[in-house]
Chain A
Amino acid sequence: MFRFRFAKFASLASFGLMLAPLPALAAPDAETAFIFNSLSFLVHGFIVMLMAAGFCMLEVGLVRSKNATVQSTKNIGLYSIAGLMYWLCGYNLMYMDVSGYIGTLMPWSPADASITEAGYTGDGTDYAASSDWFFQMVFVAAAASIVSGAVAERVKLTTFLVFSGILTGIIYPIQGSWTWGGGWLSEMGFSDFAGSTIVHSVGGWAALTGAIIIGARKGKYTADGGIRPMPGSNLPLATIGTFVLWFGWFGFNGGSQLAMGSAADVAAIANIFVNTNIAAAAGVVVAIFATQILYGKIDLTMALNGALGGLVAITAEPLAPTPLLAAFIGGVGALLVVITVPLLDKFRIDDVVGAIPVHLVAGIWGTLAVCISGGASFGVQLTGIIAIGVFVSVTSAVVWYVLKAIMGLRPSEEDEVSGLDLSECGLESYPDFTRQS
């Protein structure tokens, strides 16, 4: 009886305490800031991880069903390879003791200097080492997946996976060391908040060299200069993939604030979310208008590309612009995509999903657009774009050619025509559609 009454009294008292005015909190203490910074990397990081699924859905939806299995395998394969390569050599090549042009070639392992037996001894501006590795790793994976869409339906699976390993373990980290690793470009003042150049155009250049060197799909371009479209097999899947990528971009751009330990940081992240969304939305609407005007019909696949083009464009500076400027940047990105897609066909460069217009062209635009919000000088941005462009193109081309000599880039013509799923994987994606068991 007494115990019951006491419990009632205790709970009433604590309820009263809750209602009493709390003392005004000062800025979070150092350890709290450390926690929030790390949390930002972890949460934004796993949101970006889902972009691997988004890319997979988008690409599978835009290839023909006879290649859906291989496309899926490429996506889960490259995400995993990226995760391993970035641990084995990539991260430290990008961040450890960067000399100006390159980091240190050795495997990464976590080391949290500010967490000792005495507790947290840092000043609140740092974060858990593994949270940073994780966040950077999902970015590398995004860069690699850009290539898989462009060269789809006619590249050998194993060759592509090897290329992904080299891109994620060596090429990407080296150019990343020039910028985010603290190297020569960052010292010049090159500004790329979340990676329009560092991630997206890198994937775009690798994709461009691949598409050119590997060549077009058999039958895509006819001898008399004609173009034979090869429509995607699952546009709803491609649409859902785009939505998933859009979702992932909140982690991509939001987490690139690199801190969440203060009100200012969180407000910045909030602004970033808003600008990111507006840029993507403007991209879709511009693509809808543009295709309606150009072709008399709204092209869903271009609308999807438009969203992504807008997202890539805002990625270089998602914080500083006003919403109106963000819409402008995203809209122009989408317009560039709509123009570039048929242009690539004119040059007989077969990009199955529009990865080159979306990631390379919009990525360049986004990097230059940083100058509009005053965050960088045009000359420095251009220097970075060209330097990274040349570096990635040349190294990628070398790798493609070496792989061509060692392993071959393309399956045989009959295998390509009958579908890579059977020849590369011995598996069909939709066996029930033609054969009932």
Chain B
Amino acid sequence: MMKYIIAIVQPGRMEDIQRALSEIGISGMTVSEVQGYGRQKGKTEIYRGAEYTIDFMPKIKVELAVEGKLATKVTDAIKDVCNTGRIGDGKIFTLDLSEAMRIRTGEVGQAAL
């Protein structure tokens, strides 16, 4: 069973994650800039005398599709790189992936990963 892994982490972790994953043989991923919050509280800013709170903090979302037996290795690698012990480190979700296809060739399944 293929797995789809979504990791939401602190910004600035992209290169570390890429290095850690390539060491275990992963050579592709998709990264997007997102905003989010969980237990990490927002920040209070003040602009021209008026206070406002920003609840949403910038985050990085890393997504990748892997073969089932690699999934735990991938999540462990990401966790090791992103764990600072502070609130706000992020979360990793693992979903079952029912199908995958390489657009150029039409390959499906493991061969597409």
Please state if B46 and A299 are interface contacts (CB–CB under 8 Å).
yes
Once bound together, how far apart are the Cα atoms of A229 and B48, in whole Å?
8
Please state if A228 and B48 are interface contacts (CB–CB under 8 Å).
no
Please state if A227 and B50 are interface contacts (CB–CB under 8 Å).
yes
Any A CB within 8 A of the CB of B93: no
Q: How far is the CB of A58 from chain B (nearest CB, A)?
A: 14
Please state if A299 and B52 are interface contacts (CB–CB under 8 Å).
no
Residues of A within 8 A of B49 (CB): 294-295, 299, 341-342, 345
Could you tell me which residues of chain B, from 18 to 57, have a CB within 8 Å of some CB in chain A?
A: 45-50, 52
Please state if A341 and B48 are interface contacts (CB–CB under 8 Å).
yes
Once bound together, how far apart are the Cα atoms of A294 and B45, in whole Å?
14
Q: How far is the CB of A284 from chain B (nearest CB, A)?
A: 16
- Give chain B's interface secondary structure class: strand
Once bound together, how far apart are the Cα atoms of A301 and B50, in whole Å?
13
Please state if B52 and A301 are interface contacts (CB–CB under 8 Å).
no
Could you tell me which residues of chain A, from 215 to 231, have a CB within 8 Å of some CB in chain B?
A: 227-229, 231
The size bracket of the interface on A is 10 to 19
Please state if A342 and B47 are interface contacts (CB–CB under 8 Å).
no
Nearest-neighbor residue (CB-CB) of B49 within chain A: A342
Number of interface residues of B (CB under 8 A): 7
Please state if B50 and A345 are interface contacts (CB–CB under 8 Å).
yes
Residues of B within 8 A of A301 (CB): 47-48
Once bound together, how far apart are the Cα atoms of A296 and B45, in whole Å?
11
Residues of A within 8 A of B46 (CB): 295-297, 299
What per-residue 1/0 map shows which CB atoms of B83-111 lie under 8 Å from chain A? 00000000000000000000000000000
Q: How far is the CB of B29 from chain A (nearest CB, A)?
A: 19
Q: How far is the CB of B56 from chain A (nearest CB, A)?
A: 14
Please state if A231 and B50 are interface contacts (CB–CB under 8 Å).
no
Any B CB within 8 A of the CB of A54: no
Residues of B within 8 A of A228 (CB): 50, 52
Nearest-neighbor residue (CB-CB) of B46 within chain A: A295
Nearest-neighbor residue (CB-CB) of A301 within chain B: B48
Residues of A within 8 A of B52 (CB): 228-229
Nearest-neighbor residue (CB-CB) of B47 within chain A: A229
What per-residue 1/0 map shows which CB atoms of A320-354 lie under 8 Å from chain B? 00000000000000000000011001000000001
Once bound together, how far apart are the Cα atoms of A228 and B47, in whole Å?
10
Could you tell me which residues of chain B, from 49 to 70, have a CB within 8 Å of some CB in chain A?
A: 49-50, 52
Q: How far is the CB of B48 from chain A (nearest CB, A)?
A: 5
Please state if A299 and B47 are interface contacts (CB–CB under 8 Å).
yes
Any B CB within 8 A of the CB of A302: yes
Residues of B within 8 A of A295 (CB): 46, 49
Once bound together, how far apart are the Cα atoms of A126 and B46, in whole Å?
53
Residues of A within 8 A of B47 (CB): 229, 231, 299, 301
Once bound together, how far apart are the Cα atoms of A301 and B52, in whole Å?
16
Nearest-neighbor residue (CB-CB) of B52 within chain A: A229
Once bound together, how far apart are the Cα atoms of A342 and B51, in whole Å?
11
Once bound together, how far apart are the Cα atoms of A294 and B46, in whole Å?
11
Q: Which of A229, A231, A301, A354 has the most CB of B within 10 A?
A: A229
Could you tell me which residues of chain A, from 169 to 228, have a CB within 8 Å of some CB in chain B?
A: 227-228
Q: How far is the CB of B91 from chain A (nearest CB, A)?
A: 27
Once bound together, how far apart are the Cα atoms of A295 and B45, in whole Å?
10
Nearest-neighbor residue (CB-CB) of A351 within chain B: B48
Once bound together, how far apart are the Cα atoms of A229 and B50, in whole Å?
6
Once bound together, how far apart are the Cα atoms of A231 and B49, in whole Å?
12
Once bound together, how far apart are the Cα atoms of A22 and B52, in whole Å?
70
24 A-B pairs within 8 Å (CB atoms) are namely: A227-B50, A228-B50, A228-B52, A229-B45, A229-B50, A229-B52, A231-B45, A231-B47, A294-B49, A295-B46, A295-B49, A296-B46, A299-B46, A299-B47, A299-B48, A299-B49, A301-B47, A341-B48, A341-B49, A342-B48, A345-B48, A345-B49, A345-B50, A354-B48
Binding site for A on B (CB under 8 A): 45-50, 52
Binding site for B on A (CB under 8 A): 227-229, 231, 294-297, 299, 301-302, 341-342, 345, 354
Known: A228-B52, A299-B48. 17 other contacts (CB 8 A): A228-B50, A229-B47, A229-B48, A229-B52, A231-B45, A294-B49, A295-B46, A295-B49, A296-B46, A299-B46, A299-B49, A302-B48, A342-B48, A342-B49, A342-B50, A345-B49, A345-B50
- The 6 lowest CB-CB distance pairs between A and B, nearest first, are A342-B49, A229-B47, A227-B50, A229-B50, A295-B46, A231-B47
